[in-house]
Amino acid sequence: MLYDSGCRVQELITLNTSDITLGGIYKLFIKGKGDKYREIPIMQETGKILEKYIRIYERQPKKPLFCNSRGERLTCAGISHILNKYQKLAKEMNAKPIQENLSPHLLRHSKATHLVNNGVSIYNIRDFLGHASVTTTQVYLTSNPEVMREAIEKASLKTAPDSADYYSAEEKADLMSFLETLF
């Protein structure tokens, strides 16, 4: 849920069951920094898991969505504890290396980076994350060489003229003759 929604941990723990739209289109209504509200879409798979969670744990509207074993609203420390618990379990079950400094914010950062790397507009990501300024969102613009190469190639297809249409056969031959004289 933290990854899919890109929420800050504080935003997640303040969610009530009534802050969710279920069935068909799944959305969260998040109260972010500065008491600003935003609507966050979540994937259908996450939404279905959330529906099942609400049904199994009998979560009531206007009540906390996520509670601890005592029935109290989860805290930031509680979320970190859960994350660390499952990180240790994943390490025990999997021979592959697991991120050492796992934190709730790392999930938010990963979601934003994945969105950027998949071509989502920085302005859409700003709104998704609830940033007041796109400058804050620019932190997630990674310098992944492969992503950069693909973006440049895609842009060049739209901006560079097709040489087959741009030069006549005679002009191409003249250019090639000229270039051969240089060597």
Give the separation between CA 180 and CA 124, rounded to whole angstroms. Answer: 50
Catalytic residue among 59, 111, 126, 131: 131
Residue positions counted in the chain: 183
Q: Is residue 23 within 8 Å of residue 76, measured between CB atoms?
A: no
Active site residue 105: yes
Active site residue 131: yes
Give the separation between CA 155 and CA 139, rounded to whole angstroms. Answer: 23
Which residues share a beta bridge with 15?
Answer: none
Catalytic residue among 48, 81, 91, 105: 105
Catalytic residue among 59, 111, 126, 140: 140
Active site residue 8: yes
Active site residue 81: no
Crossing angle of helices 104-117 and 76-93, in 10° steps, is 70
Active site residue 109: no
Catalytic residue among 59, 108, 111, 126: 108
| DSSP three-state, residue 70 | coil
Helix (H) or strand (E) holding 156: helix 145-159
Q: Is residue 30 within 8 Å of residue 43, measured between CB atoms?
A: no
Catalytic residue among 33, 52, 63, 85: 33
| DSSP three-state, residue 91 | helix
Active site residues: 8, 33, 105, 108, 131, 140
